[in-house]
Amino acid sequence: MSQVHLGHIFHVTGQPTVQEAANALVSIPDGALVVDGEGRIAYCGARAEIPDEFRGLPPMDHRPGFLLPGFVDTHIHFPQTFAGDAYGGGQLLEWLTRCIYPSEAQLADPVYAQRAAVEFCARRLAAGTTAAMVFGSAFPQAQDALFAETRRRGLRMVSGRGIQTTGESSVAPLITSEEKAIRLTESEIDTWHAVDTGRVDTALLHVAVVPRFALAVTRATLRNLGELYDSVRDRGVYFHSHLNENNRPGTGEVDSTKQVYEVESYLDTYDGKFMPGSQVGGKSLLGRRSILAHGVHCQDAELRRLAETGSSIAHCPVSQQFLGSGTMPWKRTIAAGVTVAAGTDYGGGDEWSIPRVLSAAFKVHISEPGEDGVSMHPAEMLFTGTLAGARALDMESRFGNFDASKEADFLVVDPAGTPSLEATLAQGVRSDDPVLARDQTLFALLMGMDESTIAQVYVRGRRVDDR
């Protein structure tokens, strides 16, 4: 049975680049979204023009609310569910040592891990995140709890256990042997990859191969993971890690990685070129299902290589501010042709909400120095938080906007849930130019919305926030 939803629709149609997003922005103030019995978009358009076959159906009237595609978070840490706003008195590497490794070690306790899985799914759902690339726990039973709870809540997720095979004493509980690292990853793929439907192209659940970052693993691990990944690529398995995040002089992650591996670029470590002098030592982990978080300090050659392999960057400006990592250069990164999608990086970021990430992106990029500064178009912001995320997950053909026959992942956004937003939308001055007025409304919405604005969440046409 089809469902008709009424509201002000915003989405980015087609398959545009981020530079083309403004021209692809669709705004339908008196809109109707029709979802068929299989959870696919049957119609997205003006209410007045609903096709005859759906006219008699009793609509779900969300007006004066909005209908937006579900948000896609391309980088978020499950084992940091209870580690937001952790104070360690330092930047990335100090914060990991003092706050994060001890927090993540708690998930060895199955009761704690189950609590974390329930809270993690509740928080991402409340934030309107319908699909996510989730950096997993080191502990298999914690990952089992995460996959099971995600399935119960009907959400989309790609996740894999965080792999660590080397590190300092504070990280010891998270480290495994070389052999066990591979065995546990293989077993997670066999247990959870596409388990919900048995088919990778219809599943909501997928598995990724996730070394924490190059500094947390050895050359042998990278070589073994390259072999493993090569053997499961055609099953639609993902690769996920961190890249070029923090370059604090002396103690930064980028310089440390290049020194430890003796490579020309950080990306080489994931590209099979992890031997001294960036000599090839194994198979590449890059590709269309590979997402690297941050990319703040990429060389031009690294951006070119990400683009040519179809790998994506999870852009996490809230986290980059929290950890003092700097600003991913917006113009240079998108000019290289790399897909850039939004990530919260919770608990490196202290927001669960993709709109809060988009708001931070707007602020940091308008503040980039000189010619690099850019005022992001609201359509670029919406694109980065929705369709670009679906593209980064290599599932653009399935969701990310309201094009006909896509799976209907959408949010009912009710400004009344956030009085300051409601007042801004009702009283704010709008341009006489209808296009600018449209953009002003979308901008106000994205900048001003938060969890309390999100009234209902649907994945594949099914409401998922009421379970």
Kindly state whether residue 245 participates in binding ligand GUN, applying the rule CB under 6 A.
Answer: yes
Q: How far is the CB of 263 from ligand GUN (least distance, A)?
A: 17
Distance from C-alpha of 353 to C-alpha of 409, rounded to nearest angstrom: 16
> What does 212 interact with, of Zn ion, ligand GUN, none (CB < 5 to 8 A by kind)?
ligand GUN
Q: How far is the CB of 211 from Zn ion (least distance, A)?
A: 12
Q: How far is the CB of 84 from ligand GUN (least distance, A)?
A: 12
∠ CA(378), CA(73), CA(411), 5° rounding?
65
- Do residues 384 and 315 touch, judged by C-beta distance below 8 A? yes
Residues 346-385, one symbol each (x = binds ligand GUN by CB under 6 A, - = not), give --x-------------------------------------
Sign of CA dihedral 215, 81, 250, 314: positive
Nearer Cβ to ligand GUN, position 26 or 318?
Answer: 318
Kindly state whether residue 460 participates in binding ligand GUN, applying the rule CB under 6 A.
Answer: no
Nearer Cβ to ligand GUN, position 69 or 347?
Answer: 347
> What does 229 interact with, of Zn ion, ligand GUN, none (CB < 5 to 8 A by kind)?
none
> What does 245 interact with, of Zn ion, ligand GUN, none (CB < 5 to 8 A by kind)?
ligand GUN
> What does 32 interact with, of ligand GUN, Zn ion, none (CB < 5 to 8 A by kind)?
none
- 58-87 residues in contact with ligand GUN (CB under 6 A) are 77
Kindly state whether residue 212 participates in binding ligand GUN, applying the rule CB under 6 A.
Answer: yes
Nearer Cβ to ligand GUN, position 73 or 439?
Answer: 73
Phi (first) and psi of residue 234, to 5 degrees: -75, -5
Q: Which amino acid is at 266?
A: Y
- Do residues 320 and 370 touch, judged by C-beta distance below 8 A? no
Nearer Cβ to ligand GUN, position 25 or 296?
Answer: 296
Nearer Cβ to ligand GUN, position 91 or 456?
Answer: 91
User: What's the N-to-C CA distance of the chain in angstroms?
Assistant: 21
Helix/strand/coil for 137: coil
- The DSSP-derived string for 91-124 is SHHHHIIIIIHHHHHGGGSHHHHHHHHHHHHHHH
Size of the site for ligand GUN (CB under 6 A): 11
Distance from C-alpha of 400 to C-alpha of 293, rounded to nearest angstrom: 20
Of the candidates 355, 344, 161, 360, the one whose C-alpha atom is nearest the C-alpha of residue 241 is 161
- 267-306 residues in contact with Zn ion (CB under 5 A) are 293
Q: How far is the CB of 390 from ligand GUN (least distance, A)?
A: 23
Nearer Cβ to ligand GUN, position 26 or 100?
Answer: 100
Nearer Cβ to Zn ion, position 73 or 345?
Answer: 345
- As given in the structure block, the two tokens for residue 393 are 């997950």
**How many of the other CB atoms lie within 10 Å of CB of 367?**
11
> What does 213 interact with, of ligand GUN, Zn ion, none (CB < 5 to 8 A by kind)?
ligand GUN
Q: How far is the CB of 91 from ligand GUN (least distance, A)?
A: 10
Distance from C-alpha of 134 to C-alpha of 288, rounded to nearest angstrom: 17
Nearest residue to ligand GUN on Cβ basis: 348
Exactly one of 144, 345, 394, 439 binds ligand GUN (CB under 6 A); which one? Answer: 345
Kindly state whether residue 345 participates in binding Zn ion, applying the rule CB under 5 A.
Answer: yes
- Do residues 339 and 312 touch, judged by C-beta distance below 8 A? yes
Residues 86-115, one symbol each (x = binds ligand GUN by CB under 6 A, - = not), give ------x---x---x---------------
Nearer Cβ to Zn ion, position 226 or 348?
Answer: 348
- The DSSP-derived string for 226-273 is HHHHHHHGGGT-EEEEEES----TTT-HHHHHHHHHT-S-GGGGGTT-
- Do residues 314 and 133 touch, judged by C-beta distance below 8 A? yes
Nearer Cβ to ligand GUN, position 50 or 364?
Answer: 364
Residues 301-330, one symbol each (x = binds ligand GUN by CB under 6 A, - = not), give ------------------x-----------
Bond prior to 162 in cis (omega within 30° of 0): no
**How many of the other CB atoms lie within 10 Å of CB of 178?**
15
Q: What is the 3-state secondary structure (H, E, C) of 358-377?
A: HHHHHHHHHCCCHHHCCCCC
Binding site for ligand GUN (CB under 6 A): 77, 92, 96, 100, 212-213, 242, 245, 319, 345, 348
Binding site for Zn ion (CB under 5 A): 293, 345
